Every structure is written in C-alpha cells, then in structure tokens.
Amino acid sequence: MDRPQVVAENYANPVTCLFHVLFKAGALAFYILFSLFVKSFVIIFVITVFLAALDFWVVKNVSGRILVGMRWWNEIDDEGNSVWKFECLDGESLARMNKKDSWLFWWTLYLTVSDPCPWGCLVCVLFPTDKIVIGFYTH
C-alpha cells in the first residue's frame, strides 16, 4: 500500500529570501572576518555601516513587502510634523502568504535582534573596545 506523498511547501520567493538573509549575514561576516585581517577601524566601520544600510533598505522596501506584505513610510503633514504610516495585509490575504517565506523573514529579524549580546561579549574578549560600537550598530 502506497503512502500519500506529503508535498513540502517551498519558498515562493527564493531570490528575495536569499537577499534577505545575505545582507544580514554579509554585514556580520564582514565585520568579524575583516576585523581579523584589516587594522583600519575606519574602513571596517564605513563598510559595515554601508552593508547594514543595504540590509535595512532590503527589509523595508523589498523583503518586507514581498515576504510578509508590510509597507511603511514617512509623510509630513500640513503642520510640518513627521507622521509614520504602516500598512499590512488583511487576515485573508495574510493567510494566503507562503508560510516558509514568512517564517524566514520573522526569524531572521528575531535572531539578528537577539544576537548582539553574545557577539558583544566575543568582541570584548577578542577585539579592542572601540570596535564594540560597530558590533552593536550592525544589529
């Protein structure tokens, strides 16, 4: 008797998922690896902040919209005040989103927010204290 095959859900947007993870890992990997080989704090700081800015842009403008259906932006009202606008999909549309894409998006955000403490401790032990600033800034 044949068992029914359970079809595993694949990523609906694998390229978006790849870049979502790639930019997060890129900033962290660059910081750790180049701190071992390059002695210029300024070069490491500038490139790490640039990679973190690319990650922010990808999350805000690409992966947030495609993977979980979120949008946000800033508007200036008539009185000159800054007003943030947030939108997300309704419940029905959200239920149709790919579960793997959503899981990857949220867990990479959770992990990158929660990991500065261990990395900060590692940086304190291995590197000069001025480089701690980058370690916390990139997360």
Q: What is the pLDDT of residue 90?
A: 81
Distance separating alpha carbons of residues 126 and 110, to the nearest angstrom: 25
Strand stretches in 1-139, DSSP E: 70-76, 82-88
Distance separating alpha carbons of residues 121 and 97, to the nearest angstrom: 38
CA-nearest of 48, 52, 23 to 35 is 48
17, two tokens = 């998922």
pLDDT in tens, the chain (139 residues): 555 554 456 888 889 999 999 988 888 889 888 888 888 889 999 999 999 999 999 988 888 888 888 888 889 999 999 999 888 888 787 778 888 888 999 999 888 877 777 766 776 777 665 655 666 665 5
Facing residues of 85 across strands?
Answer: 73
